Chains A and B, each alone.
Chain A
Amino acid sequence: MQTSALKPIARLLTKELLIAVLLLLGVSLVVFFILYLAPGNPFATLAGKRAGSNWHQIQDNEPSGAWYAQYLHWLGRVVQGDLGHSTRSGLPVFNEVIKTGLNTAFLTIGSILLTLLLAVPIAVYTARKGLTAIGWGLTAGSYILAALPSFWFGYIVIYICIHQFGVFPLAFGADASQWRGIYFLLPVLVLGLCSGTLSEMVRYLREELSRVLTEDYIRTARAKGASIWKHALREGFVLPVTEMVAAKIPFVLGGAVVVEQVFNWPGMGRLAWQAAQDRDFPMIMGITLMAAVFVRTGSLIKQVVHICVNPRASQE
């Protein structure tokens, strides 16, 4: 890449970063308002109920004020990494979220990779050959998987494991360390197949690839004897894949809530479920923020790839 091309790219990247920060501020504002508008305003009531919690201290420091004062105060703490303490366990939310967030990140990334591993060959095959019997079968398979309730599929997997291999994932939560390798694979398998992303990925990748294969410049590549795949790689593969991955992160994170529950996976989703049941507001707020950070990171990476791959974007 030419050095002259680097400057606009750097400028675009700062712009994207700025947008991401703005969006995260927006997310925090939305979360704040949901809680602020909740019946009885948890900001106020919770403090009274749980005298020992940190929420009390927050209230002490800033007893009553306009909503924006409350928000700014809260935001100031959030920026410092202080998301408060769980009302249930009393642990600092930030540490908990980071700890479980890493587990969820493993699960999410693994399952997206698995989905790609399945979706890409199917998409390439059907884009090249059209809907032949095999292509049709594979596509239909992806649709069926997308339509299955994931926890039901998870139970089937567990059942098969018990009966075929005698491995029982119930041992998970308690003593996960020695089983980690195997246990890691099962939730990844279920989430990767069953989060509803597989069929959409197949369809989107196929459509993009077959669209790109009909572009004029691909015809030119054939006319000069070059490989069409080499020329179709960027627009027909790299761009749609990153696009799809970024777009599907929120869905996979949502799916992770269910799958973590099925497999007792100590991740953020299970924590969210726990928090929702206990109405543990600081915790679920922290998780929502963390999830938003995940999503924004994903689309930031997508933007970076797009800018690097597509010079048109940088020169517009």
Chain B
Amino acid sequence: MKSFTQHPIPLKAPFWKKAHPVDVAYIGYGLVIVVMVIGSYVLGAVNWLPHDPAAIDMALLNAPPNTAGHWLGTDFMGRDLLTRLILGIQAYFLPGLTAIAIALTVGSFGGVVAGYWGGRLNLVVTYAANLIDSFPRLVLILLMVAVFKPDIYLIMIVVGITNVPIVAGLIKSKVMLLKEKNFIEAAVALGLGNFRIIFKHILWHNCRALLIIQATLGMAEAILIETSLSYLGFGVQEPIPSWGNMVQAGSNYFLQGQFWPSTAPALAILFTILGFHLLGDGLNNILERKTG
């Protein structure tokens, strides 16, 4: 039995009461993850870490959690796992933001051009988007890595570019929707300039939620790609820690039954990516569907 009660006077409810509780839980969890990621980045940046990330302790190899002051144990060279996990964020944070920035700016540009002016420009943008979509991302990255060099920023630029079609497609369909509702025409009739219509009315008022969602998903993507590349040996290189090369290094001891050194970073990846995905999902449900 599902029960519905009318309150005598309708409440002026805050948004978290209006939203579905599952969405609120998603967003709450996602925000916790975002705070932790930013916090870790700051900790790493000011070098405020529990241990020296490079201090090798040959006596304590692959130690389980909570041994000798190492809360999360140590890796195959006896280095503190927690410290390296916190520091590992450095490998993603700025490169990930680069990828997001490229995807959002180029994608918004393409989407607006295709949707707002349409016609030939739309054909050009669609062709370019399909062209980018024709490359499997990892294969393209391997090509770039082989031709140039395995550099995390280069990789993230490629990730950003391969995300452009997604953003462009979303923005374009949003603009088309507004066009269909004569919204843009009304703004033109009022005498507003193209610049103001595009930036204020289209991008700021009607696409910002969408861009935020894409940004959260972009961060998750950056982490997963780096992890895969680390495994393939093209990611961030030792001794600089990244979660990807930590899982990779740890998994060499997997078959000997030493699970922990690779499981810890793998769980970090799992929870972080889950956080970004759920944040995106929850925001999507609340911001896009309700008002759309």
Touch test A–B (CB under 8 Å): yes
| Residue from A23, A147, A292 having most chain B Cβ neighbours under 10 A | A147
* A residues contacting the other copy or chain, number (CB 8 A): 59
Q: Is the interface of A mostly helix, strand, loop or mixed?
A: helix
Contact A151 B231, CB 8 Å, known A22-B127, A276-B145:
yes
Whether the pair B266, A152 counts as a contact (CB closer than 8 A) is yes
Whether the pair B22, A38 counts as a contact (CB closer than 8 A) is no
Whether the pair B270, A276 counts as a contact (CB closer than 8 A) is no
Whether the pair A257, B232 counts as a contact (CB closer than 8 A) is yes
Whether A123 sits at the interface, judged by CB under 8 Å, is: no
A-B contact count (CB 8 A): 145
Whether B224 sits at the interface, judged by CB under 8 Å, is: yes
Within the complex, the shortest CB–CB distance from B216 to chain A, in Å, comes to 13
Query: Residues 74-110 of chain B: 1 if any A CB is under 8 Å from the residue's CB, otherwise 0?
Result: 0000000000000000000000000000000000000
Whether A44 sits at the interface, judged by CB under 8 Å, is: no
Q: Is the interface of B mostly helix, strand, loop or mixed?
A: helix
Whether the pair B136, A253 counts as a contact (CB closer than 8 A) is yes
Residues of B within 8 A of A237 (CB): none
Query: Residues 289-309 of chain A: 1 if any B CB is under 8 Å from the residue's CB, otherwise 0?
Result: 001101110010000000000
Bound Cα distance from A255 to B137, whole angstroms = 9
Within the complex, the shortest CB–CB distance from A152 to chain B, in Å, comes to 5
Whether the pair A203, B281 counts as a contact (CB closer than 8 A) is yes
Whether the pair A147, B134 counts as a contact (CB closer than 8 A) is no
* B residues contacting the other copy or chain, number (CB 8 A): 44
Whether the pair A149, B231 counts as a contact (CB closer than 8 A) is yes
Residues of A within 8 A of B277 (CB): 143, 146-147, 199
Within 8 A of A (CB), among B107-147: 127, 130-131, 133-140, 142-147
Within 8 A of B (CB), among A186-200: 196, 199
- 16 further A-B contacts with Cβ under 8 Å, apart from A147-B270, A147-B271, A261-B232, are A23-B130, A144-B270, A146-B273, A149-B244, A151-B231, A152-B247, A155-B254, A250-B133, A258-B231, A269-B139, A273-B232, A275-B142, A276-B145, A288-B140, A295-B133, A295-B136
